[in-house]
Amino acid sequence: GLELPHCVGTNSLGPAGPWRSGGPCKMKRVRTVFKPEQLERLEQEFLKQQYMVGTERVDLAATLHLTETQVKVWFQNRRIKWRKQSMEQKAAKLSQFGVIQPASADSTDSKDHEEDTVDVEL
């Protein structure tokens, strides 16, 4: 799971346009590939608590040989996945009973959106 940057946008086809300064290449982060053992442990911790902060996150990162940022982002992404699955299950149950839920009328939807905003800012 190491992340190494590499050059992107270096296309030799066609002339360089005004948007290309000819300076250093843009760097793109390579996606982290987690080992199955790391994913299993991360999922176990997520089942215990959806938010991991402070020394718990530092300790888990050290145990799994990951950076604290990798653990933080994994938890952010996992919470988003969990919320999406919860919403899909809720919608499926409502559709079984022929109930159609308005898109913006549910107060929990706006609450979830606010939490997503907070997650991104952390």
CB 45 within 8 A of CB 61: no
So what's the pLDDT on residue 38? Answer: 97
In a domain, residue 78? The reply is yes
In a domain, residue 60? The reply is yes
pLDDT band at residue 55 under the 50/70/90 scheme: very high
In a domain, residue 63? The reply is yes
Is 69 or 12 the better-scoring residue by pLDDT? 69
As given in the structure block, the two tokens for residue 74 are: 């994994």
Q: Which residues contact 72 (CB under 8 A, 6 or more apart)?
A: 52, 57, 122
In a domain, residue 76? The reply is yes
Indicate yes or no: pTM above 0.85: no
As given in the structure block, the two tokens for residue 105 are: 């009328």
In a domain, residue 69? The reply is yes
Give the Cα separation of 26 and 18 in Å (integer): 15
Task: Report the pLDDT averaged over residues 74-99.
Answer: 91
Residue 62, pLDDT > 90, answer: yes
CATH number of the domain where residue 87 is located = 1.10.10.60
Give the Cα separation of 115 and 110 in Å (integer): 9
CB 52 within 8 A of CB 26: no
So what's the pLDDT on residue 29? Answer: 78
